[in-house]
Amino acid sequence: MRARARDPREYPGRDVHNAGMRELTPRRTFLKLAAASGTVAMGLRQPGTLAQEGGAVAGGAAERAWWITVLRRLADPVLENLAAGTLRSRMPVEGPANRRAVTHLEAVGRLLAGIAPWLELGGDTTAEGAARARYANLARRALGVGLDRSSPDALNFTEGGQPLVDAAFLAQAILRAPRALWQALEPSTQASLVAALESTRAIQPGFNNWLLFSATVEAALARMGARWDRVRVDYALRQHEQWYKGDGIYGDGPELHWDYYNSFVIQPMLLDVLDACGGTSPAWQALAGPVARRAQRYAAIQERLIAPDGSWPLVGRSLAYRTGAFQLLAQVALRHALPAGLTPCSVRSALTAAMRRSLEAPGTFDTDGWLHIGVCGHQPVIGERYISTGSLYLCAAVLLPLGLPEADEFWSGPPAPWTSVLAWSGKEFPIDHAG
Does pLDDT of 412 surpass 60? yes
Write down the pLDDT at residue 18.
35
What value does the mean pLDDT take over residues 100-121?
Answer: 98
Q: For 264-269, what is the mean pLDDT?
A: 98
The pLDDT, as a whole number, for residue 435 is 82
Mean pLDDT of all residues in 133-139: 98
Residue 431 above 90 pLDDT?
yes
According to the model, what pLDDT value does residue 110 have? 98
Average pLDDT rounded to a whole number, residues 2-18: 37
Query: Residue 351 pLDDT > 80, yes or no?
Result: yes
Q: Exposed, middle or buried: residue 386 (CB in 10 Å: 0-12, 13-18, 19+)?
A: middle
Report the pLDDT averaged over residues 162-187: 98
Per-residue pLDDT band for 381 (boundaries 50, 70, 90) equals very high
The pLDDT assigned to 23 comes to 34
Look over the chain and give the mean of its residue pLDDT values, rounded to a whole number: 89
Predicted confidence at residue 59, as pLDDT, reads 81
Burial 173-212 (b: 16+ CB within 10 A, else e): bbbbbbebbbebbeeebbebbbebbbebbebebeebbbbb
Return the higher-pLDDT residue of 46 and 383: 383
Identify the pLDDT of residue 58.
Answer: 44
Percent of the chain residues topping a pLDDT of 90: 86
- Residue 60's pLDDT is 87
Measure the CA–CA gap between 263 and 269, rounded to whole angstroms: 9
Q: Please list the residues that pair with 303 across neighbouring strands.
A: none
Given pLDDT bands bounded at 50, 70 and 90, which one contains residue 292? very high
Over range 387-402, report the average pLDDT.
98
Which of 85, 101, 81 minimizes the C-alpha distance to 93?
Answer: 101
What is the tens place of the pLDDT at every residue in 199-210?
999 999 999 999
Could you give the CA distance from residue 166 to residue 168 in angstroms, rounded to a whole number?
A: 5
Q: What is the pLDDT of residues 50-92, one digit of tens each?
A: 223 223 334 889 999 999 999 999 999 999 999 999 999 999 9
Compute the average pLDDT of residues 252-261: 96
Between 154 and 53, where is the model more confident? 154
Domains of the chain, start order? 12-424 (1.50.10)
Span 155-180, average pLDDT: 98
Q: How confident is the model at residue 7, as a pLDDT? A: 39
Q: 170 exposed, middle or buried (CB, 10 Å; 0-12, 13-18, 19+)?
A: buried
